[in-house]
Structure formats: structure tokens, C-alpha cells
A and B are shown apart, each in its own frame.
Chain A
Amino acid sequence: MSNLKETILNPILKSNPITVLVLGICSSLAVTVQLKGACVMAISVIIVTGLSSFVASILRNTIPNRVRIIVQLVVVALMVILVDQILKAYMYTVEKQLSVYIGLIITNCIVMGRIEAFALGNKPIPSLLDGLANGVGYGLILVIVAFFRELIGSGTLFGFRVLPEGYVLNNLVILPPFALILLGCIIWAHRSFDKDLQEK
């Protein structure tokens, strides 16, 4: 049971895919200008990582070793396209805003990384949880970054004005480089709290 708990908690804290493994940086810089986009992106990634780990784990004993990566890629691509189609049907404007980054979840290292490292060697249910938890770990950082960028950059949260009218919008925060700076600060904070992560 403690094993299952670790499966869920580890990806969110101790081995967070973004702050510790430093995977999936590209999209976390690109889609964190606004909270709404970041939330939809986070949910999409959670669904994709969870379901593809689940499916890959079900197939794990049947997949021919030589075409392993290709089969995984097909499974991931299937999930991503389904998510994209659903967003296009029900959340058209958000889908347009996220544009290519939904499609690029296919190449998000977290998804393939978790299938390779975990799903191929574990039963479906733990794999599903591992995938979901890694998605949550990714999404958590995405939402934190987006929170600061939207608040400081546009003075709004979820599109609602939070800071008073006179606030001068900060354009630097809107640009992707600031997301990298912010991400660096988060990694810094994470490492100074968690002594295990510090290199000797």
C-alpha cells in the first residue's frame, strides 16, 4: 500500500517531472501566459499520460520488443488526437489558443518517459496512477507558473481583473523567457526545501 502511495506522491513532489527531471519544459514555457490555457493543457496532459501508460501497460507483455517505441508512440498519438478532437468540439477557443502545443504532447518526454520507465514493467492500475500523478506533477508547475505570469503580466486571473486599473502591465512576464526564469526559481525553492535533491 505504501508503494502505491509513493507511486502517486513521488511524481508530484520528490521526482516532479518538470522541477526534478526537467522534462516537458517546451510546453511549460509556451502555454503559461494565461491560467485558463495552462489548466486545459494540464488536464490534457494528465489524461494523456494516464491513459497511455494504462494502455501501454495492458499491452506490455504482447508488444514486440523491436517495435516497442513505435507502438508506444501510436498509443500516445491516439490519446493526443482524441483529446485534440474533443477540445476542438467543446472548447474551440481554448484549443485555438493552445494551437500546436496540444499536438506536441505527443513529443512530451514525460509521456514516453513514464511508459518506458514504469508502464512496461508494472500492472495496469499502478501504471495508470503513475501516469496520472506525473501529469498532475507537470500540471501543478504549469499552473503555478501561469498564476504568476497572468497576475503580473496581465493583471488578471482566469481573465478576471484582479489588480487595479492603474497597474502597468509587465510585458517581460508575458514573454517566454520569463517563464524560464520563474521555473528556475521554482526549482531553486524546491531544492532548498528538499535536502535529498541537493548534489553534494
Chain B
Amino acid sequence: MNTNSNVYTIIYTTIVVVVVAAVLAVAAMAFKPMQTANVKAETLSQMMVAAGLGSMDEFLSIGNDQVLERYSENIDSAYAVNLEGDKVLDLDTEKDNIELIDNFKPQDKAIKANGEVTLPVYKFKSGITVIPIYGAGLWGPIWGYIALNQDLRTIAGVYFDHSSETPGLGSKIKDEPWFKEQFVGKVLDIDTPGNPFDIVKGGADENDNSAVDAISGATMTCRGLDAALDVWIGAYANYLKKTTAEE
């Protein structure tokens, strides 16, 4: 057979591509449940690290099941609020049926468009409330979890993650302990709409209680993180104000 004819080439490549696509589709479906479970355990771990319930190394070593159990033991309630700060839906926290709102991208769009949002709030038994943030870094999305003390203003801990920031530069928002530690004890200035928190290039003013130092070499990532904080904490502002007023 002439393997160099046009017809042969086209048919051959078509068959190869279809077969490969089929194999990949089957593999993707087969591994999906395990991958989702991994992502879920990772999300829970990050929230619990922000809330001061353990270290990342610890959560990585105990396995997915234990992470879910630990979360279930420590969570008090989880629900979603809208931009007005009213509760719109309850999330399940039972170990076998933990619900998370983990797809923040549509939420981020809705916040910016002032549309309908379901912003998750996780209240832990220790009195700490965890809220997520999400935004754009230099190369891809960045996100994180902010743990607030009972006054819903003071930061108790943070955890940031990213999908593809530059290793050694932008990735420091996740890897550098000093960067995350400097958030602890800082206060969200939710009375200034649009700019509740700052990450300052060149060093924050020591007297500014709502600002931290940026990372040198990670200007764009820090700018993205600053914007993410402003947008998301801005979106939670009504909830934070209302809830503190009630108590």
C-alpha cells in the first residue's frame, strides 16, 4: 500500500486522533472521582491551615479521609451569603457529604458585575470565620483563604495558593512563611469600600494596620493579590458589618 498518498495520510491521522481522544476521555472519566477528592481535601486543608488548625505538612501526611474528618469535627457551620450580607443557602458539613463552593471564577465575575452571588462563609468551632478570595495573578488564577477572629475584622491567619505563578518569585505568596505571617493581627478596613487592605510595594507603613509588605520580584502577583483582597473583602463587607452588629 502507498503510505504516502494524501487519502491514506488523512484517514490515518484521523483514526490516530480519534483513538487517542477516546483513550484520554476514558482515562479522564476514570480518574475524575479521585482527582476531585484530592482537590477537595486540599481546599479543606488550606482553609484549616488559615484557621490555625494545623500545618500543611501535617494535613498532607494524614491523607484525604482524615482531612475530611478533621474538618467535619472542627466546623461549626457553613453557608453562603449574597452581596447584601444575607444568608442565601446552607452548606452540608457532614463528613460523607461535605459541600464546598470551590469554583470561585463565576463568583468573581458576578461580584464584579454586581450580580447574584453565593459567597461561602465557613465558621469554625474555635470562633474563627474563614472566607475565600480569588483573583488573577500574573500567569493564572490566584486564590486564598482569610481566617478572621470573632470580631470579623482582625485576621487570624491566611493561606494563599496559585495555579501557575513563577516559581521562586510569584509562587512566594504560597511558599514564604513571612509573607503570610505578616497578615496575622492586621485589621480589615471594611469601612473604606473598594480598598479594605493593601499589599504595598517597597514596604508598608508600620502604623498602617491594614497593610503588609509586598514581595520583591513578585510585583504583578502581589498587585493581583491586592486586587483580589479588595474585590472579595469588599463583597463580604455587608455580611461582616451586619453580623458584628447583630452580636
Contact A81 B24 (CB under 8 A): yes
A82 at the interface (CB under 8 A from B): yes
- Docked Cα-Cα span, A64 to B39, in Å, equals 42
Contact B13 A67 (CB under 8 A): yes
Smallest CB gap from B23: residue in A: A78
A160 at the interface (CB under 8 A from B): no
Smallest CB gap from B36: residue in A: A89
Residues of A within 8 A of B17 (CB): 74
- Docked Cα-Cα span, A62 to B167, in Å, equals 43
- Docked Cα-Cα span, A156 to B27, in Å, equals 36
Of B3-11, B125-133, B201-209, the segment with at least 4 beta carbons within 8 Å of chain A is B3-11
Contact A66 B28 (CB under 8 A): no
B34 at the interface (CB under 8 A from A): yes
Q: Looking at B23, B27, B167, which has the most chain A CB atoms within 10 Å of its CB?
A: B27
Query: Which residue of B3, B4, B35 contacts A88 across the interface (Cβ within 8 Å)?
Result: B35
Q: Looking at B20, B23, B28, B39, which has the most chain A CB atoms within 10 Å of its CB?
A: B20
Residues of B within 8 A of A63 (CB): 3, 12
Contact A74 B16 (CB under 8 A): yes
Chain A proximity of B46: nearest CB distance (Å): 12
Contact A64 B28 (CB under 8 A): no
B89 at the interface (CB under 8 A from A): no
B164 at the interface (CB under 8 A from A): yes
- Docked Cα-Cα span, A155 to B60, in Å, equals 21
Q: How many pairs of A and B residues are in contact by the CB < 8 Å rule?
A: 56
Contact A100 B164 (CB under 8 A): yes
Contact A92 B42 (CB under 8 A): yes
Q: Which of B40-93 contact A (CB under 8 A)?
A: 42, 60
A90 at the interface (CB under 8 A from B): yes
A86 at the interface (CB under 8 A from B): yes
Interface readout for A46-63 with B: 1 if CB under 8 Å, 0 if not?
000000000000000111
A170 at the interface (CB under 8 A from B): no
Q: Which of A84-137 contact B (CB under 8 A)?
A: 85-86, 88-90, 92-93, 99-100
- Answer whether A64 and B16 are a contact pair too, CB < 8 Å, given A81-B24, A85-B28, A89-B31: no
Q: Looking at A64, A65, A75, A93, which has the most chain B CB atoms within 10 Å of its CB?
A: A64
Residues of A within 8 A of B4 (CB): 64-66
B150 at the interface (CB under 8 A from A): no
Chain B proximity of A39: nearest CB distance (Å): 17
Query: Which residue of B8, B24, B38, B167 contacts A82 across the interface (Cβ within 8 Å)?
Result: B24
Contact B24 A78 (CB under 8 A): yes
Contact B38 A62 (CB under 8 A): no
Residues of A within 8 A of B28 (CB): 85
- Docked Cα-Cα span, A64 to B34, in Å, equals 39
- Docked Cα-Cα span, A132 to B162, in Å, equals 34
Residues of B within 8 A of A100 (CB): 164
**Can you give 22 A-B contacts (C-beta < 8 A)?**
A64-B9, A64-B12, A66-B4, A67-B12, A71-B13, A74-B17, A74-B20, A75-B20, A77-B20, A78-B20, A81-B27, A82-B23, A82-B24, A85-B27, A85-B28, A85-B31, A88-B31, A89-B31, A92-B35, A93-B60, A99-B164, A100-B164
Q: Which residues of A contact B (CB under 8 A)?
A: 61-67, 70-71, 74-75, 77-78, 81-82, 85-86, 88-90, 92-93, 99-100
